[in-house]
Amino acid sequence: MPQDKRHHPDRRRFLRTGIAASALAASGISARAQDNPMPPELRQALEHEQLGAVLGNPSGDVTLTEFFDYNCPYCRASVADIHQLISEDPNLRVLLREWPVFGAASLYCARMSLASLRQERFWQFHAGLMNIEGEADDRSAHRVAEAVGLDMERLRKDMDDVVIARQIEHSWILAEKMGLSGTPTFIAGDFGAFGRQSLNELRAMIAKVRRNRS
């Protein structure tokens, strides 16, 4: 089951300080994306700042953001749907935000996942780790990384880069400011949904954004 962020032991450490925290606090952003039109400052922070993996069309007319955790079963179930959406919709931009709410093992995997971007192996690593059985942790993440051909020495070095820590911190701050309940959370335009979403439900959310803009 998706886990509420409030039970995560590292939450306070991520939310205490940092560039992302200062910028968002200064803007006074607190609205929930699914309840009200999203303030421009929040949309900018959500869709364009401290980015992780951007998939699909980087200039697409709709951005679908997913907050996910590698140990979230519903996030794992959504991987095939995300791939299908990208395949069928040439104007869709997909942004995956690492939000490791399930603890230290998930945080380790999130760091390795972001590091894999630098070797242009993100999707291979992401899909591989999402498809394992059991817990995603340092051991399973290393097995997947080796299987998809990542340079392990470089990967370990990149995982410790402060830029990656800031990317994860930024996603925690965004989730806090929007009052998100857990993973997976999907946001497109001014619409959001928490929990397992079917492929058709995600299609409908994207279509709703386009209708509202026409």
| Residue 9 scores a pLDDT above 70 | no
Q: What is the pLDDT of residue 210?
A: 95
Q: What is the pLDDT of residue 26?
A: 35
Task: Please check whether residue 124 lies inside any domain of the structure.
Answer: yes
Lowest mean pLDDT among 30-39, 135-144, 201-210: 30-39
| Residue 181 scores a pLDDT above 80 | yes
| Cα–Cα dist 29/199, whole Å | 30
What kind and span of H or E run contains 162?
A: helix 162-178
The token pair at 155 is 């990967």
Q: Is 28 helix (H, G, I), strand (E, B) or coil?
A: coil
| Cα–Cα dist 194/178, whole Å | 12
Nearest residue to 79 via CA among 43, 38, 123, 19: 123
State how many domains the chain has. Answer: 1
pLDDT in tens, 66-102: 999 999 999 999 999 999 999 999 999 999 999 999 9
CA distances from 187 to 88, 97, 174 (A): 19, 11, 12
Task: Please check whether residue 214 lies inside any domain of the structure.
Answer: no
Q: What is the pLDDT of residue 29?
A: 32
Q: Tell me the three-class secondary structure of 37-92, residue by residue.
A: CCCHHHHHHHHHCCCCEEEECCCCCEEEEEEECCCCHHHHHHHHHHHHHHHHCCCE
pLDDT band at 174 (very low <50, low <70, confident <90, very high): very high
Range of the domain at 92: 5-29+38-208
pLDDT in tens, 131-145: 999 999 999 999 999
Q: What is the CATH number of the domain that holds 84?
A: 3.40.30.10
- Which residue would you say has higher pLDDT here, 11 or 209? 209
